[in-house]
Amino acid sequence: MYLILIIFGLKSYVSMVFSLASLWDKDFKFTIVPVKYKKMTALAFLPLLTSFLIAINYQADIIILKMMSVDFYHIGLYSTGVALAEYSWMIPDIFKEVMFHHNARKDDVKRMTFSIRLGFTAVVSVAILVIAFGKPILGFLFGADFVAAYPIVVLMFLAVPFMVYTKIIGTLFSANGGWRFYFITLLISVLLNIGLNVALIPSFHIYGSAFASVISYAFCGVTMLLWFKRKYNVPFRDVLFVKWGDIQKVMPFLFRKKASVESLIIIGDGGHSKMVQNIVRESGTYRLTEVWDDKHREPVAREGIIYTALDEKLQGLTQMNADVAFFVAIGDNEIRKKIARTLALAGKKICGDCSSDGVCRGNGGNRRGQFGDGRIDCSGEYGAWETCYCKQWRDCGT
């Protein structure tokens, strides 16, 4: 038991060390303050126990089956059914990672319910397919000898939808440090799982263990859901299946055309950005895919371009496609500098400059200049209120 706790603790420290090492060559400075370090270690103890309980709840049934002298053949069948069900857990895990970044900034209930609906619908759809075609799937993945695990697969997939609530709603506690309720719920779930395994295995063999897991996962998921509903006054219809409005939001993301040129994201959507957007469209060297600005509180797609909030996107920079280029089109020098530094620390490609032989169309005087690192000074013979069209967009640099 102590060895398992040590391993879980070391896993967190190893992750921390490698994260800091990745920032070593990016002008990132940090210092260790012993007093704060001790406090942080103490605060991390409850999350450590919570992670330990999650792992135990997933593996308790296998351990108890071995302790109760169930033969290895039936344990193998049970493990196969559990393994197939665990593949579907990746669906709520996807939404869990996204919602963690959102909830670290604020409790984003609207996006939370949206993620729950998508995750729940996807998991239920996968469960129906697996239950319908479970035997051929088992034969293909594991061999004909493991088709006998089908009843376990059916039982375990009855528990999977509850994992959506546990994993996604659990990000509220992980992001905001509210570990006590999360820990107590998981502790009761683990004890329930262990107790039911001991009580049911002698009479129902491996099926008793499957029943115990279903009840344990259901308890945890329903408890999380009821807490979430009560705290945020969310109706049940908002945490079940997708709505027509959800489908309309998702469709533009699913059917975006693949770009034949490098994608570009423009940060900022003010007057300065409008000129940059015109230059991008006119040049044709890059394909404008997204515009980030905090005035867009909800993602919206217009003419193949997604307009979304800046702050929440910056939270997930490290998980984005490395091939996407960025241009910071914000007029304020200090804000632009801070955002450019954030992009650089995340290893993102920041656009350089546009050639100074562009043509400006508008009213007024005569200026020559460059377009670089978020600054526009177009050459031409017109004045202060102009729309700039550059003939050439130079390559981006890191």
Asked if residue 175 is part of any domain, the answer here is yes
| CA separation for the pair 53, 60 (Å, rounded) | 10
User: pLDDT digits over 361-390, tens only?
Assistant: 333 333 333 334 444 444 433 333 333 333
Asked if residue 19 is part of any domain, the answer here is no
Distance, first Cα to last Cα, the chain: 48
Residues 222, 267 within the same domain: no
User: pLDDT digits over 330-367, tens only?
Assistant: 877 788 888 888 888 888 888 754 333 333 333 333 33
Residues 93, 218 within the same domain: yes
**DSSP letter string over 306-323?**
EEE-HHHHHHTGGGS-TT
Asked if residue 12 is part of any domain, the answer here is no
**C-alpha neighbours within 13 Å on the C-beta side of residue 386:** 24
Distance of CA 258 to the CA centre of its chain: 22
> 275: domain range?
259-389
Q: Indicate if the pLDDT at residue 260 is higher than 60.
A: no
Residues 267, 224 within the same domain: no
Number of domains in the chain: 2
Residues 289, 208 within the same domain: no
Q: pLDDT category, 94, cuts 50, 70, 90?
A: confident
User: Per DSSP, what are the bridge partners of residue 389?
Assistant: 359
Q: What is the CATH number of the domain that holds 332?
A: 3.40.50.20
| CA separation for the pair 184, 186 (Å, rounded) | 5
Q: pLDDT category, 133, cuts 50, 70, 90?
A: very high
Q: Which uninterrupted H or E stretch holds 354?
A: strand 353-354
Asked if residue 51 is part of any domain, the answer here is yes
